[in-house]
Amino acid sequence: MVTSAHEGLHRIFQERPEILTPVFEVLGIALPEKATLDAITPDVTENKPLERRIDTLLRVGPSDGQDFLLAIEAQRARDERKEASWAYYVAYLQSKYGLPLLLLVVCEDAATAKWASGPFACGARGWTAQRTYPLAVGPDNLPVITDRRTVERKPALAALAALAHARSTHIDAILEALGDALPQMPKETADYVYEFLEVNLGNTPAGDKWRDIVSFVSYFPGRGTVRETAYLEGVAKGEAQGESRGEARGEARGEAKGVLRVLEVRGIPVSDVARERITGCTDLDRLGDWLERAGTVARAEELFEESEPPS
């Protein structure tokens, strides 16, 4: 089963491809700064009885050479079954797409990374038919980044490195550098890294430290990315506008902005009457109820149904 943390680990490659160049530098492989990246279906199933799926598959078009495939696997612990699976992925994908392929395995601890680097041989009676050499990254070859300026230049690499070093003695300094740098970055980048680390660090000491640093309450915990981001945008706008009018009023404005932003992201039209009712409300409990409903209603007017106390 693919967990949200597992998904978050490889999603960063799809949504933040700039991480590839510094990661390849760590591995001693040249990849130019300018390259095209196209996501390819990760399904490598041949026949129905057996389903195989790679975490992430990218087609990389470097500016200085031939296109190649990059298959990315997230590995949290040693799993002997992967030795055969990875060999299958390499052979199948090269045959299917007619392109050379590299397999990158991202690990959260040094022992798993050491095992994942292989090589893994397939053969019989003293003869090797195939040998697989994955590229493995983990705490031993991803840098410890505690400098704010480095985080600002390479936010995705910094986030991935933080995950790799989550169990090390450096983790507090790493997370503090991320916390100092991210508010200065474009909001889209900052929001992504905030959520990436919250999801992947989970309920660990490092996760608790990260939540202390970012100091915000998630009304949509887990994988509600669009709604959570929309809520935070609304709160930020509302608190900025309401700062001079008192904390309570600013909080109500933030909740109202969050409700409207969620509806906007979902493409739900909001009439002038409904908008006025939402922005004019100062009852935080009622606004909280509307905020939860905003993620599921089909019409803005449904927010108000059954939320009023019976007369």
- 253 and 290 part of one domain: yes
- 81 and 168 part of one domain: no
Q: What's the confidence (pLDDT) of residue 38?
A: 63
Q: How far is CA 83 from CA 20, 79, 119, 247, in A?
A: 24, 8, 9, 57
Neighbours of 88 (CB within 10 A): 16
Residue 95 located in a structural domain: yes
CA distance 78 to 245: 56
Residue 309 located in a structural domain: no
Q: What's the confidence (pLDDT) of residue 133?
A: 94
DSSP assigned state of 309? P
The letter for the amino acid at 174 is: I
Tokens for 255? 């909740």
Residue 143 located in a structural domain: no
Residue 93 located in a structural domain: yes
Residues in the chain: 311
CA distance 199 to 43: 24
Residue with tokens 């493995």, as numbered in its chain: 136
Residue with tokens 């902005």, as numbered in its chain: 257
Q: Find all residues with CB under 8 Å of 103, minimum gap 6, and list them.
A: 71, 72, 73, 86, 89, 90, 132, 134, 135
DSSP assigned state of 92? H
- 231 and 191 part of one domain: no
- 132 and 60 part of one domain: yes
Per-residue pLDDT reduced to its tens digit, 6-31: 555 555 666 666 666 777 777 777 76
- 177 and 280 part of one domain: no
- Say if CB 294 and CB 305 are below 8 A apart: no
Residue 52 located in a structural domain: yes
Residue 243 located in a structural domain: yes
Tokens for 56? 């992430």
**CATH number where 99 lies:** 3.40.1350
Q: What's the confidence (pLDDT) of residue 50?
A: 41
- 129 and 21 part of one domain: yes
Q: Of 174, 189, 214, which residue sits at a domain end? A: 214
Tokens for 248? 């309570």
Instruction: Count CA atoms within 13 Å of residue 8 on its CB side.
Output: 22
CA 261 to chain centre: 22
Residue 229 located in a structural domain: yes
Which residue range(s) make up the domain with 59? Answer: 4-137
CA distance 229 to 305: 25
Q: Determine phi and psi for 188, rounding to 5 degrees.
A: -60, -45
Q: How far is CA 157 from CA 25, 105, 131, 195, 196, in A?
A: 11, 15, 29, 15, 12
Q: Of 184, 214, 244, which residue sits at a domain end? A: 214
- Say if CB 105 and CB 134 are below 8 A apart: yes
- 153 and 277 part of one domain: no
Tokens for 72? 């990315």
- 31 and 156 part of one domain: no
- 12 and 125 part of one domain: yes
- 118 and 164 part of one domain: no
Q: What is the pLDDT along the chain (311 residues), one digit of tens a residue?
A: 445 545 555 556 666 666 667 777 777 777 666 666 666 655 555 544 444 567 678 888 877 778 888 888 878 789 998 988 899 989 989 998 999 999 988 788 889 999 999 999 988 888 988 899 999 988 888 899 999 889 888 887 888 888 888 888 899 999 999 988 877 777 777 777 887 787 778 778 888 888 877 754 343 344 344 445 555 555 555 555 544 445 556 677 778 888 887 887 777 888 888 888 888 888 888 888 888 888 788 888 888 876 444 43
Q: Of 160, 192, 214, which residue sits at a domain end? A: 214
- 100 and 43 part of one domain: yes
Element (H, E) at 144: none
Q: What's the confidence (pLDDT) of residue 200?
A: 73
Domain count of the chain? Answer: 3
CA distance 17 to 54: 17
Instruction: Report the predicted TM-score, pTM, of the whole model to 2 decimal places.
Output: 0.55
Tokens for 119? 């090589």
Residue 311 located in a structural domain: no
- 26 and 62 part of one domain: yes
